[in-house]
A and B are shown apart, each in its own frame.
Chain A
Amino acid sequence: MLEQLTLGRYIPGHSWLHRLDPRAKLLLACYFIVIAFLTTNWLTYVLMFAFIGGVIFLTGLSFSYFVRGIGPLIWLIVFTAILQLLFTPGGHIYWHWGILMITSTGIQTSTAVFLRFLLIITMATVLTLTTAPLAIADGVEALLRPLRVIHFPVAQTALMLSVALRFVPTLLDEAQTIMNAQRARGVEFNNGGLIKRLRAIVPLLIPLFVGAIGRADDLATAMESRGYQGATNRTRYRVLKWHNADTIAVVVILVLNVVLVVLRHM
């Protein structure tokens, strides 16, 4: 069930985008989302979609990954767009019934909402498909580093994030094992009404929780025995390197921003 989820999954590869520094990718993805709101006329949309098309091409991944990534969210986007369409007053009124109406402004805003959503989600999918969770954790840590000024425990947060990521597959496996073990004892997970289903979750949740506490205890002992005295005075095995490619990516997105601003007034 969880393996089919494309959103947030990483596909190993060696494309130009895969090799970009995670810090650059995180920053640029966020920046792209911000400038996605600069789109106003069809020229800007054409530019943005051409850009994201180019980015998808650069990932070297099959287009179907992106379609599947957006698939589960398309209903949410369509729902939002329809609400925008039906409840926005202004401009020429084509049709109305009670408080519902379709106006020219409504058509414009709902199209804008739909297209911007599509841009943002595609970019987020590009980020997660081409960046290993570990690299994202490293990138987040590096970007949080300035917060040390206000005594935010950056190193501890980074360690927690990396341990949490490392245990996700382990705990998923354990959850699957417990589910099967409970099924063998006659627990039905996919039957009955809401209350019955919620009750069936208990024999899964409690062993999982107890198991996680046991694991945490073991892990803490193992870490202590290997000399972990806290986050201070540690060296780092993994370091992030900023390459020329990262600078190029930053320049490209800045150029995109300028062109967008110009096109917006045409």
Chain B
Amino acid sequence: MTKIISVDDLSYQYPDAERPTLNHISFEVNAGEWVAIVGHNGSGKSTLVRALDGLIDFKSGTVTVAGTKLSPESVWLVREHIGMVFQNPDNQFVGATVADDVAFGLENAGVPRPEMQHRVQDALEAVDMWQFAEREPSRLSGGQKQRVALAGIIAMNPSIIVLDEATSMLDPHGRQTVLSVLQHLRRSNQAPTILSITHDLSEAAQAQRLLVMDNGQLISEGTPRAIFSDEQLLESTGLDLPFSTKLSQQLAKQGLVTPKQYLTDDELEDWLWQSHLTM
């Protein structure tokens, strides 16, 4: 496994803050991995991913992305590897129309126009928004805008996609379509590394690894299964429990005790379906 992101002893304090927002953080991400960062508001998740893209000026620690150490000189090189989708779909829409917005990054990279045209079309088709290419952002729904933001990233074909709570302002349907676009992207032959910040546990459950942050520190990391079965950890960090765990707890109150470890929705369904016979 090649390491695509490695963060070593990263600390950062906002100029007027009392405590550091990031406190000696170290972690690594493998190429092609899907990692979710979870933690309650103010735990430093957004600051952490902004540091990766060189959007904040941290003083201590090192960040290395795709073999390049982040420095004021290399920042644009690093940004070429990372595509970021932010939380508010309205505020990150630069272009006057959908196609213009997708082309924005390509224009910045100096891509010649004929190539730009087919890359814009391909990217918009990948998120199923090509028929809206000439629309203005004010005539799109939040989910559609976020798909356009994703298309803008796909067109650039970065090796890393960072989602900074990209689904948090969407309705369940919009969230589902954005996630399925990501799932589809993961199955393509050049599957990007995905780093997603989320409060949505069903989204976190799709990741291969979770990083749990609290008070600017990385307090735990592991597979979703390992993290979700650690109820104490979830409770102490103020994170919600996944639906299947809540259901298991309710069942336990009724006297039906599931196996101790965390089960996904499908696994719980299987278990219930088999256990009925033995009751």
- Where the two chains meet, the residues of A that have a C-beta atom closer than 8 Å to any C-beta of B are 133-134, 137, 162-163, 165-166, 169-170, 173, 214-215, 218-219, 221-229, 233-239
Contacts and interface: CB of A to CB of B under 8 A. Distances in A.
Interface of B: 50, 53, 55, 76, 79-80, 82-84, 86, 88, 90-97, 99-100, 103-113, 116-117, 120, 136-138, 152, 156
Residues of A contacting B: mostly: helix
A234 B84 contact: no
A221 B95 CA distance: 15
A227 B79 contact: yes
Query: Among the interface residues A214, A221, A229, which one has the most CB atoms of the partner chain B within 10 A?
Result: A221
Given A134-B97, A169-B136, A229-B76, A218 B92 contact: yes
Contact of A226 (B90, B104, B110, B138): B104
B55 A235 contact: no
Given A218-B92, A226-B108, A226-B156, 5 more contacts: A166-B95, A166-B137, A169-B138, A218-B91, A222-B92
Given A227-B76, A227-B105, A229-B76, A235 B94 contact: no
Contacts of A163: 94
A218 B96 contact: no
Given A169-B138, A224-B55, A235 B93 contact: no
Nearest to A230: B108
B84 A225 contact: yes
Contacts of B152: 226
Contacts of A224: 55, 79
14 contacts: A134-B96, A134-B97, A162-B96, A170-B90, A222-B92, A224-B55, A225-B83, A225-B86, A227-B80, A227-B109, A229-B76, A235-B107, A235-B110, A237-B116
